[in-house]
Structure 1
Amino acid sequence: MRNLDAGLASFASSPSAENGRKAGDEDRQGPPSPRYAAIKQFLTDAVRDGTLKPGDRVPSEAELVARFSVSRMTANRALRELQGTGLLVRRAGIGSFIAEPKPIGQMIEIRNIADEIRARGHAYRATVVHNAGEKATAETAALLEVSVGTHLFHSVIVHHEADLPIQLEERFVLASIAPDYGEMDFTQTTPNEYLTRMAPLERFEHRVTAAMPDARVRAMLGLGHAEPVLVMTRRTWSRARLVSHAWLTHPASRFELSAAFSVDR
């Protein structure tokens, strides 16, 4: 980050940096001064001119406080707002990094997430949180339209793109259609790959909603308290039976969904 360090030193000594030299002044005077906006502009320009690239670490709050002579609140606001625009990804206990371009998921196709990630030139890995058989409760039986007590499999998997959690997959599967599901090593294959082999797809439904995640989801996806998610609910049918119900949860700041289709005239 030598070029960025030089740029920061030059900016901090410029005439515009002399305004509000006392840390905290801008935060005590009611309407905030443009100091946080100046930091945002500087980092945005660094991305535009290539000084900072996706994956690069940006200065911490403490470094920005020292270099720009602002309060910690001002430095935090600059980083927080850049995160809100999608320019930065903040990782608790590690720092802030320039975000990769948002992955785009297809709404009208069912694609293997491992293939999608590798096609973008990134490494893929999965963390299996849970994968076991269980008897359907009243709630889970309704999801798959079966009787209470029916044998199901329940899996929870976090999919990572370049070591960043990109999707939390929670899925219930009808055991009679996919009898080996609970024995599969989903760090080596994906539920999508296995189910495609065992239960050829005949029909599927997608529904997407925005939500605020609970503490469990935040922890698995590495999210802050105020970060929303996009939740795709997916149901799939095979052999005229509903065989899988899944919730695919993505950090809204790191992911977007798209669809394209032709109109039959």
Structure 2
Amino acid sequence: MPPSSPAPSSPPGSHDPADATPRNEYTVDELARVTDTTVRNVRAYQDRGLLAPPEKRGRVGVYDDTHVSRLKLINHLLTRGYTLSNIQDLILAVDEGHDLRSILGLETAIGGRWSRERPKKYSLIELLQMFGDKASPSALVKAVDLGLLERDGLSFVSGNPTALAAGATMAKEGIPLTDLLDAVRIARPHFNAVAKALVDLVVHQLDRYDADALPPPADVPALVDAIWRLRPLANVLVESEMNRALEEASGDYLGDRVSAIMEKKLAHPAKGPAEERGAARKNKKK
């Protein structure tokens, strides 16, 4: 996970970046992509005061995970039927320092991205170079349907370039790309269930409070720190369990394969040298 440059100062109640891994940083296009919105919406939310402006570095605006979590919150509230005016009132109350300000730190700790992968754009030629003749039109359609690639004009964008590179290496080793994509499709619901269980564990810290009430402001810093500490531990747990399952599955496969070989050998014992010479003489007489 590559480090990024230090982010601007955190809003009150948020996690102190000096005590954590540096935040992800995004251009406006990347921000829109990772939050499943549009650049036009990002600009509109900034104009209405719903989203803080980016940090300016020369002529480039740089966004970070606080913007990601804010956009996720806005999108979630919109899907729940709230209007932009309702959300603007909420944000105004937050920015004016009311008790709702305490949601800011939790907003980033819970809603911020778990991955530090930055989206990367690929031309069709680059994908063909990576996957060779395995990059068939049907495979590209499957990858787009799974969200592993996103069309961007004549190019494609991957939200996880490391996984894409791993898939390309596996394809070059002879694994059919369509089979690999089918495996992702089959495994995804199970990963979703695992993720739900782990997120529930991480945010279990909030269960001591009423579901329709924010924690007291005095409790927020400790809650935020606890959630930030639990997030990487959840990733460790997933990796550990995945390694265990892979070892178990590969061991079972190896055992089954060896058993099949042994059964074949026992059913058809190999002939010794004397038997082979005798068989050869009989064939010669014929």
Tell which structure's C-alpha radius of gyration is larger. Answer: 2
More strand by share: 1
TM-score normalised by L of structure 2: 0.20
More helix by share: 2
